[in-house]
Structure 1
């Protein structure tokens, strides 16, 4: 399937955001925590919408 690479990139970015949340909490940085949470929401949302579009087109 030609879209596996895109899903892998999105999952790696999401995992990095989750790790960033943990690091930001350890560093007691509110702003970095909020930034990582926002990045995670954007990444996960784009992944789910991309998957929905592929499913609607019958390509998944």
Structure 2
């Protein structure tokens, strides 16, 4: 892996932060925070997969 794919790295960091947020929300017993972080993980992962597909179609991967 010679080149860093910055958009994919950005999505991976955001998804990891959202998963950490789920753990923090559970420890704080915050249902709203937990649901918000789960929704954020779903959206961020979807955007990451969509970006990866677009990059693959353009021959950038």
Report the 3-state secondary structure (helix = DSSP H, G, I; strand = E; otherwise coil) of the residue aligned with 1:45: helix
With normalisation by structure 1, the TM-score equals: 0.89
Give the unaligned 5+ runs of structure 1: none
Aligned length: 59
What RMSD, in angstroms, separates the aligned Cα atoms of the two structures? Answer: 1.2
Q: Do the aligned residues in 1 keep the contact of 2:22 with 2:34 (CA within 8 Å)? A: yes
With normalisation by structure 2, the TM-score equals: 0.88
Structure with the larger helix share: 1
Structure ranking higher on relative contact order (CA contacts 8 Å, 6+ apart): 2
